Structure 1
C-alpha cells in the first residue's frame, strides 16, 4: 500500500492544541466548586448551570454538589430544568413534522427549547427562585439560563463527537426522551432538532457566561473564565488555526488513515475523517500544561467577520460554508453510488439554506483506483432506475458501470461534483473531499446489497435520488466540465499557483500552491482553507503571529483577518497545498 505521494509516513497531529501562554485553566469538580463559592462570596445568590446535549447531568451535579457543599455553609436549593419539560408523548407530537417517517432525513427545527416546556412549570420554577432569596439557588440543566437573567452564568459544552460516542453506548438521550433509542434515530434527532435548538441558546449566552466548562471528560471538568474564553476567541481569529479532526469507521472504509495517522487499531477501518466540518468539529485550546475543547461554532459566532471575511459573512452569516473531509477506501471498497440534492430541493424538503456540492481531490491511490462520475451517454435513466429498484426490492445486484462513467484516478486529480451529478469513489483511493458544508444529504442509489457495521441493510433513497439526478451530466459533458486540467495563475523561480477547479456550478474555487522554498499569498478579505497534499511539512508565517507548522495531510484555516501570509517549506521535498476559498 502506498504511504504518501512522496513516500514518507505522515506526521499528522490528531489533537492540535492552539496555545495561549497567558491562559489560566482549572480542572476538576473541586476547582469548579471553588469558583462557584467565590461567586457566592461576591454576593451571587443564583447560580445558573446551562449546557449542551451530552452532559450527563445526574453524575455531573452529584459530583459538583458534594464538592460545593464542602466549601459553603449556606443552604443550597437545587432545581433541574427537566421538571419543566412536557411529557415525552407531547414532545414527540410537536416534533413529528420535523422528524418525519424517513429513517435518515428530517426538516430543520427552528423552534426553541421553551416550546418543549410546560409554561406553568416554568412559572413555578421562576417563582421558587424568587422566593429563595435568603439562601443559594442552583438552577441546572438544558436551558437553565432561560429561567432567569439574574445570576452567575456557567455553560458546560460537550463536543458533538463525544455526544455521539455516548449515544452509541446508550448513555445519552435526546432532549425530552427518557430512554436511549437506536443510534441512527438519535443522530437524526440531534441533527434536525437538538443541535440547532441548543445552539441558539449557546450563541445567546456567549457574551454573558461567567465560566466556561468543557464537559467532555465528566470525571474531571475543565474550566476557564468567560472573559478568558472570549479573549481566546478574539486572538484565535487573528492567526492560522486547526480544528480537532475526528474519525469514524464505515462499511467501505480503508486502512490508510489508521496506519498513517496512528489511529486506534481496534476499529475495523476508518472511512471518514471530519477534517473541517464546522457543525461538528471542536477546537482544542490550552497552555503548556492543560487544554480544553469548545465547539468551532463559538469562534464563528464571536468573530464572524474576522474569520470568514465581510463578503463571505454577508452571504452566509456565521455559517462556515466549506468543508474538508477524507474518504479512505485504501484497502476498502466502493462508496455507494449516490447523488446530492439541487439547491431548491434541499431548501423545500429539508430546510437547509444551500446544497451539498462536492469535489474529490485524490491525495494518493493504488494503480487500479477509479472514480465513477456522471451518466453514460448510452445508458437510459429508466433502465438505471429499474435496476436500482430491483436491487432494493428484490436484492438483485447490478454493475454501476452499466450506467455510470468510470474514470481512472491518480494522485492530484480533481473531480468536480456539482449537485445532481451521480458519483462515487471506487476502492483504493484516499479522497480529500473539498465541498460545501452540508454533509448528510446523500441519496444512495445502489450500495451493493451490503450491510452497515451493525449488520443492518443500508438505506437507499431512490425517490429523492432520481428526482435530483441531472440527466444532462453525461460522458462528454463530464469530460469537458468536471475533470479540469490545471491552469497556471502565477509563478516564480521555484513556485507556482494553479487554478485546478472553478466552474459556475460551484460557489467555491480550488487552487494548488506548489513550491520548493516558499510562496507568498493573500486572503483578499476572505478565509482560505489549506491542506498539505504533498511534502513533509511547511510553516505558515503571518504578521504578529508565531510560525504555525502544517504537516502532510493536515488541514488549516487562514482567517480573512490575516491578509498577507507566507508558506515556507521546512521539509526535504517540494510541497503542494490545495487552497479552497469562496469566489
Structure 2
C-alpha cells in the first residue's frame, strides 16, 4: 500500500501579490467605500447567497437597494419560455442559447434603471444575477462560485435561480443548471470579465475573499502558461469502492467513494495563492479568459470556449458493477440535446483485481429484438436481465486501455479502478440495466432505454470490439531513456492518447493542443521547461494535471530510481 501522496487541495502560487486578497465583508465594505463610487453593482453567479450580500453591504448605507430577482419575469412565464430546455425528463434537457436579457421583465428593468439614474448623491446598491443590466456605470463587483459548490448547496435546499424549487430532486436541479441557468450565466460572465473591478470568492459564505480584477486577470494569464492541477472532489455511489479511500487518505465517514472528479474543467475549481491567502475560482474562467493560450489555436477553433477533454476516476474496488450503458451518437446528441459533440469515452485501467472485467459490445450473433425485449422486461416488469447472454465480458488488467466510442454498449465491472479519459460531455449516460438495485437515496436510478436502444450499434460485436477497441497500443518511439506508445483513442473519437514510460527523461513537443495527463505509475514525476519558462512541476501518483498549449514543449523527469508512466490526452 502506497503512503498517500495525493494532494487534495493543490494550490497555484502567484508571486508578487502578497497583499492582494481582502478577507471578510467588513474589510470589503471599507475598500468599496474608499472608491467613493455612488453606484455599487454586485453581479453574481447563480447560487451565490444574495441575501447575505445585501445584508453585509448594507453597511454602505444605500438609500436604494435593487434586487434583480424582483425584476425577473413571473416564474410561470419563465417555465413556459424555457420549457424546451427544461423538458419533463428527470435528467436530460436541451442546451440553451438564450441571453440573460431574456429572463427579465423589460418594464421592471427599465423602472429600476430610471430609479438608479434619478438617485443623486447617495449610495445605490444593485445585487443579483444580471445586476449590470440595471446600470453599466459605477463600481462593478462579480461574486463567483463553482458548479460543484452550487450542487452542494442544491443538496441543502438551494433552489434554482429561475425556479422556486428548494425541495426538488437533485437531478432536476442539476438539469436546470446544466442545460439552462449556467449557460446563460456563463455568457453573461464572459461579457463582463474584462471590466470587473473586483472579483469575490464566495465558496465560504461567511468568509468571502475579494481581489482586484486586474490582479486576478493577470493571475489567470499566468496559469495559462504553465502546468497546473485543479482541486478534486469525491462522491460516494451505489457501486463505489474503497481504493481511493485507501490510496488517497480520504475521510472514512463516507461508506465508499465511487467518483473522483479531478479533470472536469466545467466543474472543478483552481486554488490561487496570494501571500498565503487562497482564492478559489472556477477553472472555466481560464477557458473564458485565455482560450488561445490554454487550448491552442486548433482546439479553440474547433471547440470555442469549451474545454474538450475530461479525466475522472471510477472506483469499484470492493464495490459493484457500473450500470450497463451506452452514450449517444454525435447526430443524436446534437438533435436531441443541442450539444456540439458527444460523450466518447475510454477506460484506462489504473488497477485491477484478479477477476476484473469490462463489459463491452454485444456478442456475435446477438439477437437485437430478443435483447431489447429482455431489457424492457427488466425495466418495466422487474425481471433480471441476463447480461452474460448478450454482452461481452473481457478480462482486464492494470494499464489496459479500453476504447469506448459513443454507441458502444459497455460498463466497468466490480473490483476495477478506472481512469476515464473522455470527451467533456459527462451526463449523457443512457442506463440500460442497473443490476436491479436502488441508488443511495433509496430511489431507482434513472434508466433511459428509449434513448439507449436508438444508439446501440449492433455491429459492434465480439469480433469488432477485439479488432477495434482492445489492445490498440503501439510503440511510437523507444530508446534507453523512454518509450512512447499511442494507446488510442478510436478513430471515431476526437482525442488521441499517448503513454510515456520514462526511465530518466523524455522531451515532449506539443502539437498546438492542450494536454491532460495522469501519473499512472510511480510515486512522483517532474515536468520541467527546457527554457525555464515555468518552475519544475511535481505530480504524484494518480493525480490529473493540465498542460496549456502555450507551453509548447516540456520534459518529463523520473526523479527517483524507478521508471514512471504517464498517460496523456490531447485533441487530434
TM-score range, shorter chain: over 0.9
Residue pairs, 1:177-192, within 5 angstroms: 177=164, 179-192=166-179
Q: Is the 8 A contact 1:373 1:422 kept in 2?
A: yes
2:30 counterpart of 1:34: yes
Pick aligned residue for 1:55 from 40, 44, 48: 48
Structure 2 residue aligned with 1:501:
488
Q: Whole-Å Cα distance in 2 between the matches of residues 185 and 571 of structure 1?
A: 49
* 1:115-152 CA distance string (max 9 Å, x none): 22111110110001001122111101111012121111
Q: CA deviation at 1:159?
A: 1.3
SS for the counterpart of 1:299 is: helix
- Please, which moves more after superposition, 17-26 or 345-354? 17-26
Residue pairs, 1:364-375, within 5 angstroms: 364-375=351-362
RMSD between superposed Cα atoms in Å: 1.3
* 1:250-271 CA distance string (max 9 Å, x none): 1111111122212222112111
Q: CA deviation at 1:64?
A: 2.9
TM-score computed with the length of structure 1 as normaliser: 0.95
SS for the counterpart of 2:90 is: coil
2:534 counterpart of 1:545: yes
* Counterparts in 2 of 1:178 and 1:425: CA distance versus 1, 3 Å: closer
SS for the counterpart of 1:332 is: coil
Q: CA deviation at 1:401?
A: 1.4
2:550 counterpart of 1:556: no
Structure 2 residue aligned with 1:123:
110
Q: Is the 8 A contact 2:9 2:232 kept in 1?
A: yes
Structure 1 residue aligned with 2:571:
582
SS for the counterpart of 2:35 is: helix
Q: Is the 8 A contact 2:346 2:489 kept in 1?
A: no
2:206 counterpart of 1:206: no
Runs of at least 4 residues of structure 1 off by over 4 A? none
SS for the counterpart of 2:301 is: helix
Alignment gaps of 5+ in structure 1: 70-74
Q: Whole-Å Cα distance in 1 between the matches of residues 547 and 250 of structure 2?
A: 26
* 1:224-265 CA distance string (max 9 Å, x none): 100001101111111111112211111111111122212222
Q: Is the 8 A contact 2:482 2:505 kept in 1?
A: yes
SS for the counterpart of 2:82 is: helix
Structure 1 residue aligned with 2:69:
82
2:21 counterpart of 1:25: yes
* Counterparts in 2 of 1:225 and 1:540: CA distance versus 1, 3 Å: same
- Please, which moves more after superposition, 171-180 or 269-278? 171-180
Residue pairs, 1:94-493, within 5 angstroms: 94-177=81-164, 179-493=166-480
SS for the counterpart of 1:206 is: helix
* 1:419-476 CA distance string (max 9 Å, x none): 1000000001110000000000000110011111110011111111010000110000
Q: Is the 8 A contact 1:523 1:558 kept in 2?
A: no
Q: Is the 8 A contact 1:173 1:181 kept in 2?
A: no
Structure 2 residue aligned with 1:72:
none
Q: Whole-Å Cα distance in 2 between the matches of residues 562 and 575 of structure 1?
A: 21
Q: Whole-Å Cα distance in 2 between the matches of residues 295 and 411 of structure 1?
A: 33
TM-score computed with the length of structure 2 as normaliser: 0.97
Q: Is the 8 A contact 2:482 2:506 kept in 1?
A: yes
SS for the counterpart of 2:195 is: coil
SS for the counterpart of 1:488 is: strand
Q: Is the 8 A contact 1:46 1:138 kept in 2?
A: yes
**Alignment: residue pair count:** 568
Q: Whole-Å Cα distance in 1 between the matches of residues 490 and 324 of structure 2?
A: 23
2:20 counterpart of 1:14: no
Alignment gaps of 5+ in structure 2: none
Q: CA deviation at 1:492?
A: 2.1
SS for the counterpart of 1:83 is: helix
